[in-house]
Amino acid sequence: MTIAANPVANVGRATLEFLADVGRLCIFAAQSLLAVFTPPFYFANLGRQLLSVGFYSLPVVGLTALFTGAVLAQQIYIGTGRFNAEATVPTIVVFGITRELGPVIASLMVAGRVAAAMAAELGTMRVTEQIDALTTLATNPFRYLIAPRVLAATLMLPILVLIGDIIGVMGGWLLATTVLDYNSIGYLQRTVDFLETWDVISGLIKAGVFGFIIALMGCYQGFNSSGGAQGVGRATTNAVVSASILILAANYIITSIAFTD
């Protein structure tokens, strides 16, 4: 039966496959969460992941935050200038960074680094039978490989985003004081005057969720990869793409459900 001959069957098959995929991912997520909370815990593995997800992502997150903050200040200056409200630039910059751009851009950058690395490493371990070898050595691969990665990413993303927030605000301040003739103290004063704790906290909560998504997609794609080098390459691409899309979708859902005030 060709595809053209029976479009209905084809749509049905694609739908079923999609639902099966979603189901597999949900089971995988549940198993990962369970593994995070059941001993034995592999603290050395967790430490390695904390370092690789957190510390080594600092340059990427810092640089993107710096440029994002600067360009945000520039654009908002132009926009607010149209109705003589340039004084609101610091407030809008910090609001935009803490609530949206900080968590989203940092997470997308980390997704590119970390989800890809996790998918490639676990994918290679899968195709070289190292994951099977773990199992035969009476070690649960979810606890040994996946729990440390998921936990590390969920813990480190909020910290990275907090640092990114600070650097982003600094980027805006740097541009405002050097290019746009803002007064340094006045700019910083304005930044904190209208900032609420919740602006920062809501962004950090998002970051935690995004961190979970990044590790989950990296591990899921890598763990289920097959077909040699090509399969590992496919897993890596899928991990980054699916993590990025899920981050943006989750961002919208979280914002519209929980952070509308």
Partner 1 sequence: MGTPKLSLEGVRKRFGSKVVLDGVDLEVYPGESVVVMGGSGTGKSVMLKCVLGLIQPDSGRILLDGRDITHLRGREREQLLRRFGMLFQGGALFDSLRVWRNVSFGLMSAQRMSKRDARARAVDILAKVGLGPDVGDLRPAELSGGMQKRVALARAIATNPEIIFFDEPTAGLDPIMADVINKLIIERVRDLGATALTITHDMASARKIADRIGMLHAGKIIWAGPVAEIDRSGNPYVEQFIHGRAEGPITMAVRRQ
User: What gap in Å lies between CA 37 and CA 130, rounded to an integer?
Assistant: 24
CB of 129 to partner 1, least distance (A): 4
> Are 159 and 259 in contact, with CB atoms under 8 Å apart?
no
Which residues inside 84-113 make contact with partner 1, applying CB under 8 A?
none
- List of long-range contacts for 77-85, beta carbons under 8 Å, 24+ apart: 77/176, 77/180
Of the two residues 132 and 196, which places its CB atom closer to partner 1 in the complex? Answer: 132
Residue whose C-alpha is closest to residue 216's, from 105, 120, 118: 118
- The reply on whether position 31 binds partner 1 by CB under 8 A is no
Of the two residues 30 and 78, which places its CB atom closer to partner 1 in the complex? Answer: 30
CB of 42 to partner 1, least distance (A): 8
Residues 111-130, one symbol each (x = binds partner 1 by CB under 8 A, - = not), give --------------x--xxx
Which residues inside 135-174 make contact with partner 1, applying CB under 8 A?
135-140, 144
CB of 82 to partner 1, least distance (A): 56
CB of 132 to partner 1, least distance (A): 5
CB of 258 to partner 1, least distance (A): 35
Of the two residues 65 and 145, which places its CB atom closer to partner 1 in the complex? Answer: 145
- C-alpha count within 13 angstroms, C-beta hemisphere, residue 84: 0
Of 17, 132, 193, 196, which one interacts with partner 1 (CB under 8 A)? 132
Of the two residues 81 and 227, which places its CB atom closer to partner 1 in the complex? Answer: 227
What dihedral angle (degrees, nearest 10) is formed by the CA atoms of 74, 60, 189, 201? 120
Number of residues that bind partner 1 (CB under 8 A): 15
> Are 152 and 50 in contact, with CB atoms under 8 Å apart?
yes
User: What gap in Å lies between CA 163 and CA 125, rounded to an integer?
Assistant: 33
Query: What residues have CB less than 8 Å from 89, skipping those under 6 apart?
Result: 73, 76, 77, 80, 172, 176, 180, 182, 187, 190
Residue whose C-alpha is closest to residue 215's, from 114, 141, 120: 114
Of the two residues 34 and 249, which places its CB atom closer to partner 1 in the complex? Answer: 34
* Residues at the contact surface with partner 1, assessed by CB under 8 A: 40, 125, 128-130, 132-140, 144
